[in-house]
Structure 1
Amino acid sequence: MSINFPQPYGPPAVPQDPDPAPTLPYHRLALLTGRRGRWWRPLAGTVVVGVGTALLMMVLVVVSEVGGAILDRPTDADDMRTWGSIGDMAVELLSIAIAIPAVLLAARWVQGRPAGTVSSVTGRLRRRWLGLCLCLALPIVAVSLGITFLLPGTGDSGGEVEWVGWRSFLLALVMLCCFVPLQAAAEEYVFRGWLVQAVGSWLRSPWIAVLPQAVLFAAAHGWGTAWGFADLVVFGGVMGLLAVRTGGLEASIALHTVNNLVGMGVAAGVEGALDTDETAADMGWVEAAVDIPTILIYAAAVLWFARRRGIAAVSTVAPQVPAVHVPSTHPWPTYDAPVGAQLGHDQAQTRNGPEVPPVTRPPHAPS
């Protein structure tokens, strides 16, 4: 039996494939937003990150002071409660780590995009890729540190080195393993994450997005020596380019974490070494001459593995745009209906529109 459908019904409409989501490199992911006024949102978000981090630091200081007063902890030269070398180092690391929630909230609330897009182009931190980068960084950093100690004038501290004892060493090591990854990740989220994407929301060139944060990263560590400042600029620039080329912060977090863990772990075994105020900005030319090639070798290894494993470097996260309702062009819904349902509409269609000829049953059809 053949049925001639009237014009309003017709054959079912074929759904059209939606337009593919635009692909963006890592430094342009701040454009994944449907809100207006995008040009000023990176500036407002940077203010939120700075003020939010400062407020969280103040909360941490208040908690430390109140807890120290309750436990009757001694005070230091600045009349601040002290928790010993290990405890004070934990507070210092935690005061940097609290920048992570400030960055994620600024991305979500101010820019209106998924907070995970600060981590990578997939909208999350890729743990397996992070684990592989950690495995690459560990032997490279260990060899670099060994070479540094063997070079003349670098392994000699100029005084007697006193072992802290196994109990203090293991306690410090546990503390470092808990807080150093958070501290290193926080610096990466602020400099290679937020700042790179803030500049990248205005400019397409990854070089222009990477260079300013590298200089700011070096300046944030203080002014020590010219060699130390140059080493930090190279580190920040190369890690920024790795974030763009690999589509996320995993490679930079891995090297930053391993570098700080190995350096602080060695210092944890020496009496009073954790109390020093020296940073990477204070390194000499010999240490910089060893560290800069180490950074470049690590970057080359990461890029090689990223190509072999097909690590995504462009966004796979759909942009946050409001849904748009497109009205149908037919006065009646178009769908596949059973024969009985179509016959039931004949009378209504006759009253509300042109007369529809009845369906003729073929001869010898069973009644």
Structure 2
Amino acid sequence: MRTNAFACAELPPGEAYHRLGRTSSFRWWTTPLALFCFAVLLFFLWLAILLAVTIVAIVGGSGLAPDSVRISEIAQLAFGLLSSALLIPIVLFVVRVIQWRRVGSLLSVEGRVRWGWMATCTAVAVLPVALGVAAFLPLARVLQPGLVPHQGTGGTEVFAAAMVVILLLVPFQSAAEEITLRGLVMQMVGALGARRGERGGDSAVARVLRSPWPAVLAGGTLFAALYLATHPGDVWTTAALAVMGLGAAWLTWRTGGLEAAIALHVVNSLVQFTLCVFEGRMSEIGTGAIVGAGLPLGAGTPLVLLLTTAQVGLYTLGVAWLARRRVRRESAGARR
């Protein structure tokens, strides 16, 4: 029979979101062990996806060689979104088993998803996303003539099948990326600073690590850095990813949970993915930029940075204003 000595750690009392990983079970080796296990599980996930793609290719009559692997764009879309969504069980395993804390501490300072607040943030996200789409056409004509695509959808059946995949998987894909980047990454960085009263807790380094800014910078720019490493010439999309990531990371800290970041990601991705399918640009959803954040239209041009900055800025102002009296920013302590 399990006793309290073997129970997983509860929420640390009176801490901001980025500090919830600094539980009573935290040790100096927790973070490197969590990173190692996450990398191993991610590697096996990549192998599983590669195997699934190969099997589909064989069934479709293709050979085993990578150059001959051909699957439909619908299947590629599903595999791309599903591979991101499968980050959820990996991250939850790392939090629950390796870091030995409740998975609710990854979601908010209340140890759960605040569904009412999530619904509010989703409603707020609709306006800036809609304005971004409405502004795209006139701005594209002025700033980037020829950017507006003219392809067809590929038929009603293709569009309908793609929309089923998008509606079913995009919420999970968006939540998975936010749980990983604004959740696990921010809390691993935020847990590094020792508490006041602990050994080294009064040092300047500990005070800096306890502040939200290292966690916000790490959670907000990691994906942009990875994208830049694989697309070194695409500075505009990289900058837009950094703006969106930093906005989501700051809101996660400011509101004490992932709801605001997930809401914007879901609404943005649903709209942008739908437009990509409608315009016959489904293959673009497989790129890191679009799967990574559901950026506004115009990726790879100055227009994407302009639209992203305006969209994230408007959303951040609205959510921050609503959050002043509606949500808790710090944990209340362990639940009994």
> Given the alignment, which residue of 146, 167, 172 partners 1:177?
167
CA distance in 2, matches of 1:162, 1:44: 49
Report the alpha carbon displacement of residue 81 of structure 1 after superposing the two structures with TM.
Answer: 4.3
CA distance in 1, matches of 2:60, 2:311: 46
Instruction: Please give the residue correspondences for 1:328-347 in structure 2 after superposition, counting only pairs within 5 Å.
Output: none
Report the alpha carbon displacement of residue 83 of structure 1 after superposing the two structures with TM.
Answer: 3.3
Letter in 2 for 1:65: T
Please say if residues 65 and 80 of structure 1, whose CA atoms lie closer than 8 Å, have aligned partners that are also in contact. no
> Given the alignment, which residue of 41, 61, 74 partners 1:52?
41
Residue 20 of structure 2 corresponds to residue 29 of structure 1: yes
Match in the other structure for 1:363: none
Please say if residues 27 and 196 of structure 1, whose CA atoms lie closer than 8 Å, have aligned partners that are also in contact. yes
Query: Structure 1 regions of 5+ residues with no counterpart?
Result: 1-19, 321-367
**TM-score of the pair, normalised by structure 2:** 0.80
Q: What is the RMSD computed on CA atoms of the aligned residues?
A: 2.5
Please say if residues 20 and 109 of structure 2, whose CA atoms lie closer than 8 Å, have aligned partners that are also in contact. yes
Instruction: Please give the residue correspondences for 1:1-367 in structure 2 after superposition, counting only pairs within 5 Å.
Output: 22-32=13-23, 34-35=24-25, 38-69=27-58, 71-74=59-62, 78-79=66-67, 81-151=69-139, 152=141, 153-154=143-144, 156-157=146-147, 160-202=150-192, 203-222=209-228, 223=231, 224-271=233-280, 273-276=281-284, 278=287, 279=289, 282-308=299-325, 310-318=326-334
Report the alpha carbon displacement of residue 161 of structure 1 after superposing the two structures with TM.
Answer: 2.1
CA distance in 2, matches of 1:76, 1:148: 42
Deviations 1:53-96 (A, max 9, x none): 22123223323433553x44546982464431011111011111
1:126–1:83 Cα change, 3 Å:
farther
Letter in 1 for 2:92: L
1:292–1:123 Cα change, 3 Å:
same
Report the alpha carbon displacement of residue 227 of structure 1 after superposing the two structures with TM.
Answer: 2.3
Bigger Cα displacement from structure 2, 20-29 vs 242-251? 20-29
CA distance in 2, matches of 1:73, 1:261: 32
Report the alpha carbon displacement of residue 220 of structure 1 after superposing the two structures with TM.
Answer: 2.6
Runs of 4+ in structure 1 over 4 Å off:
none
Please say if residues 153 and 277 of structure 2, whose CA atoms lie closer than 8 Å, have aligned partners that are also in contact. no
Deviations 1:224-256 (A, max 9, x none): 422222221121111111111111111111111
CA distance in 2, matches of 1:147, 1:207: 32
Please say if residues 30 and 201 of structure 1, whose CA atoms lie closer than 8 Å, have aligned partners that are also in contact. yes
Query: Structure 2 regions of 5+ residues with no counterpart?
Result: 1-10, 193-208
Aligned residues: 296
Please say if residues 53 and 98 of structure 1, whose CA atoms lie closer than 8 Å, have aligned partners that are also in contact. no
Is the helix fraction higher in 1 or 2? Answer: 2
Please say if residues 216 and 250 of structure 2, whose CA atoms lie closer than 8 Å, have aligned partners that are also in contact. yes
Q: Secondary structure at the match of 1:31?
A: coil
Deviations 1:306-334 (A, max 9, x none): 124x21111135189xxxxxxxxxxxxxx
Letter in 1 for 2:37: V
Q: Secondary structure at the match of 1:175?
A: helix
